[in-house]
Amino acid sequence: MQDLSANIPAASPNAFVTLLTNDAYLPGAVALIRSLNLTKTGADIVILHTEGVAAEALFPLSEMGARLVKTALLDVSNEFRETHRRDKLHAAAPFTKGRKPDFHTPLANFCKLRLWQLTEYENIVFLDADTIVIQNIDVLFEYPEYSAAPNVYESLSDFHRLNSGVFAAKPSQKTFEAMMIALDKPGIFWPRTDQTFLQSYFPNWHGLPVFFNMLQYVWFNLPELWDWKSVKVIHYQYEKPWEADHARSELLRPLTELWQAYYEGRDIPNMADLPLPMVEN
């Protein structure tokens, strides 16, 4: 099969970028690309992918208008790989608020730093492959580096922590090389992988409104925050909407059904007609 990653030039100075390191997130990428296309964005849509994704699986993404860019996992030390292995990391910093699916590979998260090497672009907005964009967000290309929304999904006390599922950045090989020096030092441990690292590397990060990265658990933990007129991006953290069954399936059904409409290419419902989460009195 033809290598679709080769010789496809950038068409815009701006790009929305997502990362695929295994086939499990392909449904997410399909829904994300469709959602971006529906916003009539003028930016490129880039799939940064590693050898862990089958070549034939990428062809439909190219057909949808995405630019495919092949990359490699980061060249880190054996100590770093061992420390950030799924079982080691989850034992040292267990996820207690939700369930990470079996196909989640924490070490691969650091490959997100490769986007700073996409120097053919002036501005990049990164989106995790488990997000959908329900309103145009091209304005994010005007935000400074490094801009991210807070990691709010359980309580307002979490506003001091960033979530790296959506962020604005400026590609630079110099920045990438400096990041690699800061990332892999003897004895280092990043408990929430790239998220912890990026907050450390950019301590004065610029806070985006929470609506640019609305974590799905807000739906039941902080329902008073959910406003369909304001929400720009929905981020399906923890359980994924393409999983057949999970403990919170019924609780998150309205959000899952919206994701499925994007994934299947069906008509997207009017946001004014969507249900709101139940708010306890």
Q: Is 235 exposed, middle or buried (0-12, 13-18, 19+ CB in 10 A)?
A: buried
Is the CB of residue 49 less than 8 Å from the CB of residue 71?
Answer: yes
Tokens in use for 3?
């290598």
* Sequence-separated (6 or more) residues with CB below 8 Å from residue 88: 82
Considering only the C-alpha atoms of the chain, give the largest distance between any 2 of them, rounded to a whole number of Å.
Answer: 58
> Measured between alpha carbons, how far is 21 from 86 in angstroms, rounded to an integer?
15
State the pLDDT confidence band at 4, using cuts at 50, 70 and 90. very low
Mean pLDDT for 63-81 is 93
Nearest-angstrom CA–CA distance, 90 and 215: 21
What does the pLDDT look like over 75-118, one tens digit per residue?
999 998 888 876 655 555 555 555 555 545 678 899 999 999 99
Closest CA to 143 of 166, 112, 175, 119: 166
14-210: which CATH architecture?
A: Alpha-Beta Complex (3.90)
- Is the peptide bond prior to 146 cis by the omega test (within 30 degrees of 0)? yes
Ordered by start, the domain boundaries in the chain are 14-210
Could you tell me if 199 and 183 are in contact, meaning their C-beta atoms sit under 8 angstroms apart?
Answer: no
- The average pLDDT across 35-47 equals 98
Digit-coded pLDDT (tens) for 170-206 = 999 999 999 999 999 999 989 889 999 999 999 999 9
> What pLDDT is attached to residue 249?
93
